Amino acid sequence: MSIKDSKLITFPKIHDKRGNLTFIENIEHFQSKIARVYYIYDVPGGSVRGGHAHKENHEILISVAGSFDVVLGDGHQRKKYTLNRPYIGLYVPPLIWRELENFSSGSVCLVVASLVYDEKDYFRDYNEYLNEID
Ligand code: T46
């Protein structure tokens, strides 16, 4: 897997004078249905989250409020995405190292995942990760 397999996805945005609405369904890269949704919030300034890769789990990261940066790596290349729109998601395939940083005050990171939580699905040690992908 390469960071070239990551990509930004623009979701539908229903404009309305009462406010806008975005929905996520039928995700191309998820073999079955969405298995899990979680969100990261109340992040203190300067905090860095992530620092791991998944073995099989596919994810889409969305900034539903505020902004933050996602730095992806595949052992060869790194790429930084800034997420700051609630209708744009970043697709992150398995075996891609991710770090989340530069969270703005009040930001919320919503994550849609293809698998339920399983600690065994993580590479949390960077050297172990590099050995696996070589
Ligand atoms: C990712 C980034 C964007 C659970 O019990 N269930 C869950 O679904 C998740 C995601 C986490 N946890 C537990 C596991 C840890 O004890 O919550 C604690 C914090 O998890 P972690 O340190 O992995 O959190 P982040 O923000 O570093 O990473 C998370 C996801 O784990 C990861 O898949 O891509 O958000």
The 10s digit of each residue's pLDDT in 37-61 is: 999 999 999 999 999 999 999 999 9
pLDDT of residue 65: 98
Take residue 66 and report the two structure tokens written for it.
């505020």
Q: Point out the ligand 1 atom lying closest to the alpha carbon of residue 70.
A: 3
Q: Of the candidates 24, 105, 12, which has an alpha carbon nearest to the alpha carbon of residue 59? A: 24
- The reply to whether ligand 1 has any atom less than 6 angstroms from the CB of 7 is no
For a mutational test of ligand 1's pocket, the pick from 38, 69, 96, i.e. the residue with the most ligand atoms closer than 8 A to its C-beta, is: 38
Known catalytic residues? Answer: 52
Q: Of the candidates 111, 107, 77, which has an alpha carbon nearest to the alpha carbon of residue 92? A: 111
Find where tokens 């099989």 sit: 56
- The reply to whether ligand 1 has any atom less than 6 angstroms from the CB of 98 is yes
Q: Of the candidates 61, 49, 71, 56, which has an alpha carbon nearest to the alpha carbon of residue 1? A: 56
For a mutational test of ligand 1's pocket, the pick from 6, 39, 40, i.e. the residue with the most ligand atoms closer than 8 A to its C-beta, is: 40
Residue 28 has pLDDT above 80, yes or no: no
Rounded to the nearest 10°, the torsion over CA 3, 8, 48, 25 is -110
The 10s digit of each residue's pLDDT in 62-121 is: 999 999 999 999 999 999 999 999 999 999 999 999 999 999 999 999 999 999 999 999
Work out the average pLDDT over 14-25: 96
Burial of 49 (0-12, 13-18, 19+ CB in 10 A): middle
Q: Could you give the strand order of the β-sheet that contains 7-10, starting from the edge strand earlier in sequence?
A: 7-10, 88-92, 59-65, 108-113, 36-40
Q: Of the candidates 62, 50, 64, which has an alpha carbon nearest to the alpha carbon of residue 8? A: 62
